[in-house]
Each structure stands twice: as C-alpha cells, then as structure tokens.
Amino acid sequence: MADGTGRGGRWARAAMAAVAVAAVLAVTVGGHPASAAAPGWDGQGVVGYGDAVNAGGVGGMRMTAPAQALAATPDGKGYWVATAVGEVFPFGDAASFGSLAGVALRAPIVGMAATPNGKGYWLVAMDGGIFAFGDAHFFGSTGGTRLNEPIVGMASTPDGAGYWLVALDGGVFTFGDARFFGSTGAMKLHSPIAGMAPTADGKGYWLVASDGGVFTFGDATFFGSAVNMNIGTWVVGLAPTPDGGGYWMAAATGGVLTFGDAAFFGPTPNNPPFSPVAAIAATPTGKGYWLLYPDEAAVTFSDPTNLVTETANDARVVGIAASQLGPDLQAAQGNYCNPYGPCEEWCALFASWVWEGAGVDIPRYPFTGSIYNWGAARGLALGPGDRPEAGDVVLYGTGPQSAFTSVHVGVVAQVWPDGAVTTIEGDSGPEPTGHYAVTINGPFLPAFSQQYNDTPVYAFVRP
C-alpha cells in the first residue's frame, strides 16, 4: 500500500472531479520538476464576493509565515491580514497601526479583531496572549494561564471595551466588558471548535465546529448547521449577518454555506476554488464577504523565534518543500499521479523527494512507516513529545507497523517556543480526496493533532 491516508483528516476528504490550475513555471530541484518560487494557486490571496471590495491581498507577496487571520474595516472599504508571526498587512482604507514583525513570539498568532471605529486591532496567540495596536486596549489575556486546549480565535465586543477568546474545546474566556454566556468546554464534541462570532449587541455569540456544528449562547439564534450536509471538507469559520438573522460558514475548500437570512454570493460548495481558505469576514451591509486564501502568498518560513536556530540544510529542506506549494499538475493524468514517483498515494514520496533534493541519502519511499524505520535505524527518530526542528518530518498515526497505523507525513517548516509547528504536506487537502496538492498545515500543537488533524502525531524524524 502507498502512504495510506487511511481514515482521513485535514488532508483527506470525499471525491472531487477536477482541479483547474494556472500554468506554473518550472525549475529543477534534485533533478525533478518543481514549481517556481510563487505558489501554484493563481490569486490575490483575499477575494471579495457580493459587495466586498477587492482591495488587494497577500497573493504573490513574500511573507515569513502563513496568513492566519482577516478583519474588515467598519465601512467595508478595506481589511487587514495577519500572519502566524504577527505581521499585519493593510489593504484598501485599512491603516497600519503596527505589527509583531521581528518580535520573538512564544506561540503563533491564530486570530485578529478590529476595534469598532477601525482605528486599531488585537492579535491573539495560540496561548491566549493578546497584542493591542492603535486604539485597541489590553484588557487581559490567558498568556500566563495553563489552558486545557489552545486558543483558536477571538471576537471584540460592539463598543471595543472587551473581547472573548475561544479555545479548541469551546472554552470561552472573557475580558473587559465581554460577558460570559456559556461554552462547550464541558461538552464532549464530535469535532473541535474552529471559531466564534458575537451578536450585534454583544449579548451572545456563536461557536462553530470544524464539522459545521453550531452552538449558540446568549441571544445568538440557531439557524442550522452543516453537520449532516456531507460537505466533504471541514469548516474554518463563521460570520453573522449584521441583523443577527443568519450566518455564513466558510469551508476549507473555499465553498460558502448560508443559513438564515445570509445571502449566497459564491463560490458554490459544489464547485469551490479548492485553494485552501483560512478565514471569512462579512461586509457591514451583509451583502458580501471576503475569504482569505493563505497558500496564495509565497512564504519563506523564517525562524519565528528570531534565534536563527535552523541550519543551512534545514532552510534548504523547507525551501524545497515550499517551492512545491500548489495543486498537483499531474493529477489529471490518473488517480494519484504526481511529480515525485509512481501514480500512488504520495505524501511519503513527496517528503522523501524533498529530503533527497536537499542531499539526504534516503530512498523514495511510498509508505510513511518506511520513513520512520529509516530514521529509527539511524537513531534519528524522535518521540511525539520531543521538540522537532524545521526540516524534520512529522509522522501521523499510531505507529509505523502498517499502512493502517502510519497514515500521513509532512515536512516541518516552522517551530515556535511553545512547540507549535507549521508543516508542508504533499497529497494533502483541502481538496476533498486529498490527492491534488501540496499545502500548508497549521500552525498546531502536536499534542493536539488528534483534534486538529483527526489523527495523532506518533513521531518525528530528523534528516
């Protein structure tokens, strides 16, 4: 058997007919075709639908970490994009009030919220650390608190005098004038929480899970969920309509689902762009929304600790992996056809091809467990609780014994001091079958990979 995407996860979902891609320039890495420095998806990185203005985006830009968060200005004529290392890029009438560029962070940035007048914004890190810019005030954080599960997002109160944070398990934390209306922290969830959104009066909020489940608290009204809709992917966020009479959900494939009085402006869930989506933000009129496509920016994956701990070879491994971001242009030639080996499931072929291109003497393995065995025989295998380095590979599953227990592999691209990692993975989603792309995954904490990726991390291997 090949790499065995097995039971599925963020890299493997239901069937897709075809992927339309733009032409990609080619260079040679290790004697095999590689995409040019620009990503394989052709787009501006932020796309407006309905009356959402297209004011520019991160597409074609060079950033040091993947784009993670999106927030709109109050008049809907601009927006900000924030990356995992806290870089902030303004577009349209969004003004720059500062960023964390060059600051060594303990944990990656996972969310952003603008102040009501658009003259400031907050960034929130995975550990709940809060960073305020412009007229955004600091009201507290969970940065020094031991959390049961990591923070995945935040929302501001209507007057900007407080904010909520939400964790992967749906635990809700309130600061300033943000009131607590309940949480899913004590519930056993089928899927982890992906985000939250407040009601217009700040007297309630919605939580949305990655399976499209919706949980309402306070005066937030339930208008339906995607749990039984068989969307073939996962949900990344929810945005309410201005009157609170409905909401939109963004799927990882780029499709948008509507509930209540939320109008549909595209793209259709049945024929989405299949370029990974990270966030959704609605216009103030309720007649449009933006989607953030992070893989459309060129990412250099610099050391987020600013300690420059990576070796030259680490940087070469990550650079080769990043050069491949985009759809598999050979997929149309047959099921699982790819540039890295035979027509078969190819995440392991991709990872060993990347190492080979960086000068590592490793065979082109088709099975993820073989990479583990290669590393174990050389004393290069690390346990799931060990700290990886950029250039290592991460192995998913419960062990290397068979294709049913070692299911997927990716290349570690960035590591934060708290242990969070960002990876680059072949034969990866969000394309529903997971056979058509090299994508960015994370950042996520390996200890929570079961919740985040639908399967645990069982090892790392060093080249």
Label residue 403 by pLDDT band (50, 70, 90).
Answer: confident
| Mean pLDDT, the chain, whole residue set | 88
CATH code for residues 46-296: 2.130.10.10
Residue 424 corresponds to which amino acid?
I
Q: Please report the pLDDT score of residue 216 as a whole number.
A: 98
The strands making up 151-156's β-sheet, listed across from edge to edge, are: 151-156, 162-167, 172-176
Specify the DSSP class assigned to residue 319.
H
Lowest-confidence segment of 99-108, 171-180, 229-238, 432-441 by average pLDDT: 432-441
Q: Please report the pLDDT score of residue 419 as a whole number.
A: 95
Distance, in Å, from the CA atom of 356 to the CA atom of 358, rounded to the nearest integer, reads: 5
Percent of the chain residues topping a pLDDT of 70? 89
Label residue 243 by pLDDT band (50, 70, 90).
Answer: very high
pLDDT tens across 142-166, in order? 988 889 999 999 999 999 999 999 9
Q: Please report the pLDDT score of residue 36 as a whole number.
A: 33
- Span 331-341, mean pLDDT? 89
Q: Please report the pLDDT score of residue 345 as a whole number.
A: 92
| pLDDT over 80 at 100, yes or no | yes
Reference 427, options 368, 363, 367, 348; nearest CA is: 348
Specify the DSSP class assigned to residue 307.
S
Lowest-confidence segment of 16-20, 267-271, 370-374, 385-389 by average pLDDT: 16-20
- Span 24-51, mean pLDDT? 56
Label residue 10 by pLDDT band (50, 70, 90).
Answer: low
- Span 371-382, mean pLDDT? 96
7 compared with 92, residue with greater pLDDT: 92
Phi and psi (nearest 5°) for 450?
-60, -45
| Cis preceding linkage at 272, omega within 30 | no
363 compared with 270, residue with greater pLDDT: 363
- Span 97-106, mean pLDDT? 94
- Cβ contact 433:411 at 8 Å: no
Reference 411, options 341, 357, 460, 344; nearest CA is: 460
Q: Please report the pLDDT score of residue 433 as a whole number.
A: 64
| pLDDT over 60 at 421, yes or no | yes
Q: Please report the pLDDT score of residue 327 as a whole number.
A: 87
What is the Cα gyration radius of the chain? 21
- Span 421-432, mean pLDDT? 88
Q: Please report the pLDDT score of residue 271 as a whole number.
A: 77
The strand pair at 246-251 and 46-50 is best described as unpaired
Q: Please report the pLDDT score of residue 268 as a whole number.
A: 85
Q: Please report the pLDDT score of residue 185 as a whole number.
A: 86
Q: Which tokens hold the place of 9?
A: 């996860």
Domain boundaries, the chain: 26-36+303-461, 46-296
**Number of alpha carbons in the 13 Å side-chain half-sphere of residue 385:** 0
pLDDT tens across 173-214, in order? 999 999 999 999 888 899 999 999 999 999 999 999 999 999
> According to the per-residue pLDDT averaged within each range, which of 20-34, 171-185, 225-239, 433-447 is highest?
171-185
| pLDDT over 50 at 118, yes or no | yes
| pLDDT over 80 at 307, yes or no | no
- Span 82-88, mean pLDDT? 97
How does 399-417 read in b/e, with b if 16+ C-beta sit within 10 Å?
Answer: ebeebebbbbbbbbbbbbe
Label residue 78 by pLDDT band (50, 70, 90).
Answer: very high
Q: Please report the pLDDT score of residue 335 as a whole number.
A: 85
